[in-house]
Structure 1
Amino acid sequence: MKVLVTGVEGQLGYDVVKRLNLLGIENIGVDRTDFDITDKEQTEAYIFDCKPDVVIHCAAYTAVDKAEEEQGLCYAINVDGTRYISEACKKIDAKMLYISTDYVFDGEGTEAQKEDKPTAPANYYGYSKEQGELLVKELLEKYFIIRTSWVYGKNGNNFVKTMLKLGQTKDEISVVNDQVGVPTYTPDLAVSICDMLQTTKYGTYHVVNEGYCSWYEFVVEIFKQAGINIKVNSIPTSEYPTRAKRPLNSRLSKEKLDKNGFNRLPEWKDALKRYLDEL
């Protein structure tokens, strides 16, 4: 089996390649320096030349607030880029694994969002990822769509690193308490991705660490585990306006994961501990 991983310089792509290497699966990790996914000819030429059995598409435009202003760029990367990769996969009969997000949902209600719940993104980034999902489903039969949330890993910037920096410079911070989801550690997610791609159990899955918390609870746990003494104030979203609207309920149901015999990821606090140890 030969696997092509896009977005290898990002948090998830980096850990997926690491996992594939550990499993002894032949792989090629690529980033924008190798080819531009918004260029159809470049994308097809690279994929046709490489002839992978599977493409794991981690590359994405992920600046949620900036996406509201840079809609053209966001669309080109998340929608056009996904289209070109899907079309190339179809032509060489390769499987595709597309990384999506909790932001495809509106975040209404208190129940965990099920895999087959109709999507209704609350912001442009979510819309672009939803459109990517629709293209993958429309163009391919051999596909996996993995929706995940609140991702962090060793390679690159993320929320945990930002909080640790603030912990060094501030005595007090305020964090929203009414947006609930699941922090997901990229090495754990990479294990699930690499398990899945070796099967033909195609479809849409939710893959996040176990449990859930608010951003406020996540921050309190980060500082607790890191041994940082700082006052954390709990505030509602209404007191912290952002350019892009965030879903309040990002809990994701893992019914499909269970049904198809895939392992759930470890509990989020355990994952955070391993990440802080790694740092």
Structure 2
Amino acid sequence: MKIVITGAGGQLGYDLKRVLSPMHEVISWEKAELDVRQEQEVMEKLLSVRPDVVVHAAAYTHVDRAESEKESAYQVNALGALHLAQACEIVGAKLVYVSTDYVFDGTKRSPYKETDVPNPLNSYGQSKLLGEKFVAMTCMKHFIVRTSWLYGQKGTNFVTKVLEKARENLTLSIVDDQFGSPTYCLDLAIFIRELIETDRYGLYHASNQGVCSRYEFALHILQAAGMAHISLQPVPTHAFPPAPAARPMYTAFAHKAMQSNGFEPMRDWRSALDFFLQVDYYDTAVRAKKVIDTW
């Protein structure tokens, strides 16, 4: 298939290219190559290449900044999704819209199913939910894929931040009252590849299996990275100064749509994290060290 990836410069975009390129013709567009806010530009580019599939991974992801830059968040996350949905409907392409666990308010205290009613607490989540609605209303052949706590080789994420802070300090304070389902970008990209090779359209929750707190996540990161000597202090969220954007306290996922549509569940979050730190992240660190040593 001919597949367009938007947001190809991001951490998910990187793994989508790794997973899709060996099997399909992939056209990768980074922010500078496609401004999803521009309706005419989106339509012209999609009409010129006429893809079979568009994986829309471009997004405004600055959660706190979105509170003061609401217009920018909505232009990218909502209107950008609408523009792509309109173009995909015209060219007959399948559309994958990557969404977020932040469409929920976190008050349920048990894993969220696709049938649960969203209630976002912040502008980022509201803008992504509106993007979901635009996609569902506009493009017949759509997949909406909600994911959570993403990490991967490229970009900054919770895993890389914990490791960076651990190299600078012997003691870290991590919240122990926020719960979710970590997701390895490579595993998510593999699921998206499996998804687009079907016509099982609809809404999916996609994350690695299991639930953990931020503290438990950080503890396993340090242990798997051989940094168990770092002292990790569990603290409640209210111990930190309030952030501009409210965060849901519990956004773990159930994966009912994956199960009912015959997809294999993604591996558990600990196995995925171990693989990332021992193979993917390690290889990146080794390559970076070789470059530095050469210089």
Q: TM over 0.5, yes or no?
A: yes
5 Å-filtered alignment, 1:8-27, equals 8-22=8-22, 24-27=23-26
Task: Confirm or deny: 8 A CA contact 2:180 2:211 kept in the other structure.
Answer: yes
Query: Which residue number corresponds to residue 102 of structure 1?
Result: 101
- Offset of 1:85 from its aligned partner? 0.6
1:227 partnered with 2:226: yes
Residue 101 of structure 2 aligns with an amino acid whose one-letter code is D
CA distance in 1, matches of 2:108, 2:206: 20
SS in 1 for 2:54: strand
Q: Is the partner of 1:191 in helix, strand or coil?
A: helix
Deviation (angstroms), 1:109: 2.1
Share of identical aligned residues, percent?
40
User: Secondary structure at the residue paired with 1:141?
Assistant: coil
Could you list the structure 1 runs, at least 4 aligned residues long, displaced by more than 4 angstroms after superposition. Answer: none
How many residues were matched structurally? 278
Are positions 1:236 and 2:266 aligned together?
Answer: no
The equivalent residue for 1:263 is 264
CA separation in 1, counterparts of 2:29 and 2:259? 31
* Cα shift at 1:214: 0.3
CA distance in 1, matches of 2:25, 2:219: 40
| Aligned 1:186-265 pairs, distance under 5 A | 186-228=185-227, 229-240=229-240, 241-265=242-266
For the 8 Å contact 2:96–2:143, the answer to whether it is kept is: yes
Q: Distance in 2 between matches of 1:214 and 1:32?
A: 33
Once the two structures are superposed, residues 232-266 of structure 1 have per-residue CA deviations (whole angstroms, 9 ceiling, x without a partner) of 11111121222111111111110110000001111
Q: Name the residue aligned to 1:164.
A: 163
The answer (yes or no) to whether the contact 2:6–2:34 under 8 Å persists in 1 is no
Structure 2 counterpart of 1:127, one-letter code: Q
Question: Which amino acid counterpart does residue 116 of structure 2 have in structure 1?
Answer: K
| Helix, strand or coil at the partner of 1:174 | strand
Q: Structure 2 regions of 5+ residues with no counterpart?
A: 282-295
The Cα offsets for residues 192-213 of structure 1, whole Å up to 9 and x where unpaired, read as 0000001000000001001110
**1:86 is matched with which residue?**
85
Distance 2:45 2:84 in 1: 10
Post-superposition Cα deviations, 1:148-176, rounded to whole Å, max 9, x if no partner, equal 00000101111111111111111212111
CA distance in 2, matches of 1:179, 1:47: 40
1:145 counterpart letter in structure 2? I
SS in 2 for 1:266: coil
2: CA distance, partners of 1:158 / 1:252:
19
- Which aligned pairs between 1:147-162 and structure 2 lie closer than 5 A? 147-162=146-161
Q: What SS does the corresponding residue of 1:42 show, helix, strand or coil? A: helix
Which secondary structure state, in structure 2, belongs to the residue aligned with residue 4 of structure 1?
A: strand
- What letter is aligned with 2:157? N
SS in 2 for 1:73: helix
**Counterpart of 1:20 in structure 2: which amino acid?**
L
- The residue identity in structure 2 corresponding to 1:200 is D
Matched, 1:35 2:34: yes
Q: Report the CA distance between 1:25 and its aligned residue.
A: 1.0
RMSD of equivalent CA atoms? 0.9
